[in-house]
Structure 1
Amino acid sequence: MSINVYMIFNGNCKEAVGYYATIFGTEPPELSRFGDMPPEPGQDMPEEMKARVMHANLNIHGSAVMFSDAMTNEPIRFGENINVTVLSNDLTKMKTEFNQLGQDGTVHMELQETFWSPGYGIVEDKYGIVWMFNHDDTQTS
């Protein structure tokens, strides 16, 4: 299990990732874009969203730092654009932790199967911290 930082940007994620890759001397990552996602029946994606970055990952000093553009027309306010991500290979433990945070918080996306994971969800705890849970078989413990 690991805890990582996830930074969210207002359409300039590609620029930010390139900047951080240069600063920290890492290889530029592959960028997954929202337009690369399989289509969801009944959910049309605006054309301007298709070019935005859905996910990028840099290894900075041994820690994974993840990046995305917001999937909204509402601007992300700085200070609210960094989430904590829990990566785990233990789906049962993830469900327990997710549900406990959600009891006094707000579930933004139920922990559910997605095209990339058997378990992914987003919950904001009672202190206003947003937690993203992602099942990942490559994690240990």
Structure 2
Amino acid sequence: MVINPYFNFNGNTEEAFNFYKSVFGGEFIMVMRFSDSPEAGNVPPGTENMIMHIALPVGNNILMGTDAPDTMGFKLNMGNNIYMTLSPDSREQTDELFAKLSEGGSVDQPLQDMFWGAYFGTCTDKFGVLWMFSYDPKFANQ
């Protein structure tokens, strides 16, 4: 299992990640804009070129992030701008850990199969920590 940080920014993800790339080196392994999504026609004007998902390997970890503009319903505050991202080894482990971490907290996005191929969901634990789960069989056990 792998745990990686996931940052939310209010429109400056690309700038932030170019900075992180200049600090840590390496190359982005993914850059997806909201215009690349099957839902591209439903995003608010001005958000099409914002970052939906970006990933930069740093050592044995992956620094990930997204733009989370208020025009899409996000309300960023210090504390809700970072998720701990779990990439479990199996769908079953994902279900088990999700249930345990969300107990006494809240399920923010139920686990479900997503268009990019991952089994994905988010929750907030009883201590207020944000957790993102992403099981992708293409990358499991690597």
Q: Structure 2 length normalisation: TM-score?
A: 0.88
Cα 1:78/1:133, change in 2 over 3 Å: same
TM-superposed CA distance for 1:102, in Å, is 1.9
Amino acid in the other structure paired with 2:135: H
Whether the aligned pair in 2 keeps the contact of 1:124 and 1:130 (CA below 8 Å) is: yes
Instruction: Calculate percent identity across the aligned residue pairs.
Output: 32
Give the corresponding residue for 1:100: 100
Give the corresponding residue for 1:110: 110
Give the corresponding residue for 2:27: 27
Give the corresponding residue for 2:129: 129
5+ residue gaps, structure 2:
none
TM-superposed CA distance for 1:118, in Å, is 4.3
2:68 is aligned, of 67, 70, 74, to: 70
Task: Quote the RMSD (CA, aligned, Å).
Answer: 2.0
| CA deviation profile, 1:19-60 (whole Å, cap 9, x unmatched) | 0000112224542011211128xx822122221101111111
Is 1:55 aligned to residue 56 of structure 2? Answer: no
Give the corresponding residue for 1:6: 6
Give the corresponding residue for 2:140: 139
When the two structures are aligned, how many residues end up with a matched partner?
A: 139
For 2:123 and 2:29, the matched residues in 1 are separated by 27
| CA deviation profile, 1:60-114 (whole Å, cap 9, x unmatched) | 1221111111153344123321100011230011111111222211111000111
Amino acid in the other structure paired with 2:3: I
Cα 1:118/1:63, change in 2 over 3 Å: closer
Cα 1:27/1:44, change in 2 over 3 Å: closer
Cα 1:71/1:114, change in 2 over 3 Å: farther
5+ residue gaps, structure 1:
none
Cα 1:91/1:30, change in 2 over 3 Å: closer
Cα 1:37/1:122, change in 2 over 3 Å: same
